[in-house]
């Protein structure tokens, strides 16, 4: 199993400027998908974050999740991976050679927001 882990503050900034912002806006602006957004809101905002989207609560939930994964999965079966580390730890864990191509850095906040703007 691979647990992708990053700086909690950067994760918070990312989720609030992408997924949560999109969910909030789209639920009111896209009636055709209202049922999907209602379900997503129930899972993400209500059940995961208990209707508290404050920075402290979101970061605490992120840290709890990562701690639970680390406590549940045997260390030899778990790679705690920061994508900033690139191919080497990932490929070593998977037992494969690292590709010649640079490690991809995709789905940035800017890319996410640009995709959302195209849909509007």
Dump pLDDT digits (tens) for 64-96. 999 999 999 999 999 999 988 999 999 999 999
Torsion angle of alpha carbons 26, 32, 33, 39, nearest 10°? 110
First to last CA, the chain: 37
Question: pLDDT digits over 107-119, tens only?
Answer: 777 777 777 766 6
User: What is the pLDDT averaged over residues 97-105?
Assistant: 92
- Under the banding of pLDDT at 50, 70 and 90, the label for residue 105 is confident
- Closest to 4 (Cα-Cα) out of 111, 96, 79: 79
Q: What is the pTM of this model?
A: 0.79
pLDDT in tens, 50-67: 999 999 999 999 999 999
- Which candidate, 45, 13, 26, 37, places its Cα nearest to that of 117? 26
The domain of 29 spans 2-119
- pLDDT tens-place string over residues 19-44: 888 776 666 666 777 777 888 888 98
Number of domains in the chain: 1
> Which CATH number fits the domain that encloses residue 80?
3.40.50.300
């Amino acid at each position: 199993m691979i647990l992708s882990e990053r700086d909690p503050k950067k994760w918070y900034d990312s989720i609030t400027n992408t997924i949560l912002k999109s969910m909030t806006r789209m639920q009111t602006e896209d009636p055709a998908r209202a049922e999907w957004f209602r379900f997503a809101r129930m899972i993400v905002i209500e059940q995961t974050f208990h209707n508290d989207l404050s920075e402290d609560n979101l970061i605490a939930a992120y840290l709890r999740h990562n701690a639970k994964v680390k406590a549940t999965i045997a260390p030899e079966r778990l790679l705690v991976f920061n994508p900033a580390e690139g191919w080497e730890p990932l490929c070593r864990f998977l037992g494969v050679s690292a590709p010649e191509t640079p490690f991809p850095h995709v789905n940035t906040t800017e890319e996410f927001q640009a995709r959302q703007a195209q849909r509007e």
